[in-house]
Amino acid sequence: MPVHVGKPFQSQELVIQPQQWLESFSENQKVIPGPNLYPVLTEEVVMEPVFQPEVPVPANSVEARCEEASVKIHVQQNFFGSGQLIEPSDLTLGGCPFVGFDDRVRIIAFESALEGCGSLLTMTDDSLVYAFALVYSPSPVPNTPVDRTNEATVPIYCIYPRKHNVSSNALLPNWTPYSAVGAGEEHLQFSLRLMTDDWQYERPSNTFFMGDLINVEASIIRANHAPLRVFVESCVASLGPIGEANIAYMFIQNHGCMVDARMTHSRSRFMSRIQDDKLRFQIESFRFQQDSSGLIYITCHLKATTTFSPVDMMHKACSFATETQSWIAADGDNQVCGCCESTCTFRKARSLDTRDSMFEDDAAIGPIVINKVIGDHSLPQTGESSEMSSKDAESSMGLALITGLVAVGILCIIILGALFYQRRQKRQALTCE
């Protein structure tokens, strides 16, 4: 086989520029950048998230209404808006307890005069500012050493203009002594009055007969105070003023129970209430045994509450109906009379820091004269009264006899005069003939 020997191969150098390489490579491949082998180091502080507690939203649970001479406040039992109900007794208005509680809508009611319940008065150039403090002091959880809620205070302000009339009525200036104003604001005037049969007027006479019904009206003059409802806590009949008599009979007791009808089967009863500031009752007249005077004095302990306060076992007016052998309330809710057969007491102790002492007082009427009767004629009293009556009867009979004799004598004189006149006329006629 022939062998071909050629010239030796001579290599040629191929030089490619970097830019050309990149351009030719980029036509077929994408450039993937590699890791940064020389990073630039900087100081960077990493902050951890800071915990921020949620700020509680104030509960819209207090509503206040400022009136002309008082303030009325309604507080939701869900006081903090957390769903936890507070005890109404743990809430006070300047030391004054609540005056009403509606367990259906869970509302606690307060009421106070502008000058009451620890209010502070501040005067500016244009305004009068009455400041109250609604204080919540939680009572300890029973049988545990822990508390579940904090104390809280809600400020309440009533602001009134000093230089302008805020009503639509004209101003009628009237100077009133300061002492009279103080008495009207700080003291309530209770009274008892004997009334006529139609309850329209005060009875002008204090004399009754056995079996009569004595109409008595208990009332309260509240002056500038908030509207009040009056109750008769107890009543005592006695032979003299309550501090001097040694014989007494309590016919209303047990915080407004008329026990006279229950004990003696009388017609004594409370009348249905028609006004909050008045309470009327009837007591069947009686006399004390072995007493010849027929005098009685009536002394009652009266009490008043605000109209916000509910009628309950401690504030009631209950009569005993002998026909049905049941108790009837003058205010309509007979359930409050259920304790009249036992003892009516508080279910819960009240705070000693109250102003209830301003809402009660004693009132008295007397003497009331009770005469014995048979038919329509009163019987004479025993002893000296009987002797006096006999003497009066004898004197009357003697006077009647004398009067009769005088009348007969005058009649005789008239007859004799007439006869004498006729005879004289006849004589004159005969003489003329």
φ/ψ bin of 277: left (φ > 0), alpha (ψ from -120 to 50), beta (otherwise): alpha
What pLDDT, on a 0 to 100 scale, did the predictor assign at position 387?
A: 45
What pLDDT, on a 0 to 100 scale, did the predictor assign at position 56?
A: 52
What pLDDT, on a 0 to 100 scale, did the predictor assign at position 374?
A: 47
Phi, psi of 311 (to 5 degrees): -80, 120
What pLDDT, on a 0 to 100 scale, did the predictor assign at position 346?
A: 65
DSSP string, 32-52: -----SS------PPPPPPP-
The dihedral built from the CA positions of residue 140, 143, 145 and 146, taken in this order, carries a sign that is: negative
| Cross-strand bridge partners of residue 194 | 216
| Cross-strand bridge partners of residue 363 | 300
Q: Cα–Cα distance between 14 and 23 in angstroms, integer?
A: 17
Residue 227 CB neighbour total at 10 angstroms:
13
- How much is the pTM? 0.46
What pLDDT, on a 0 to 100 scale, did the predictor assign at position 55?
A: 52
| Cross-strand bridge partners of residue 121 | 130
What pLDDT, on a 0 to 100 scale, did the predictor assign at position 148?
A: 55
Q: Are 371 and 209 in contact (CB under 8 A)?
A: yes
DSSP 8-state code for residue 323: T
Could you read off the pLDDT tens digit of each residue along the chain, which spans 433 residues? 444 444 444 444 445 455 554 555 555 555 566 666 666 666 666 666 655 555 555 557 888 899 888 999 999 998 888 777 888 999 999 889 999 998 888 999 999 999 889 888 888 877 888 999 999 888 876 655 445 567 788 899 898 887 654 444 444 443 433 333 333 344 578 899 999 999 999 999 999 998 899 999 999 886 666 788 999 999 999 988 877 767 889 999 999 999 999 998 999 999 999 999 999 999 999 998 888 888 999 999 999 988 888 889 999 999 999 999 999 999 998 999 999 999 888 654 444 334 444 578 899 998 999 998 644 444 444 444 444 444 455 556 667 777 777 777 788 888 887 777 777 777 766 666 5
Residue appearing with tokens 């309604």: 74
Q: How far is CA 379 from the centre of its chain?
A: 47
Q: Are 366 and 297 in contact (CB under 8 A)?
A: yes
What pLDDT, on a 0 to 100 scale, did the predictor assign at position 172?
A: 40
Residue 256, token pair as written in the block: 């407004």
Residue appearing with tokens 């010239």: 7
Q: Are 188 and 358 in contact (CB under 8 A)?
A: yes
Residue 344, token pair as written in the block: 């009516």
What pLDDT, on a 0 to 100 scale, did the predictor assign at position 349?
A: 42
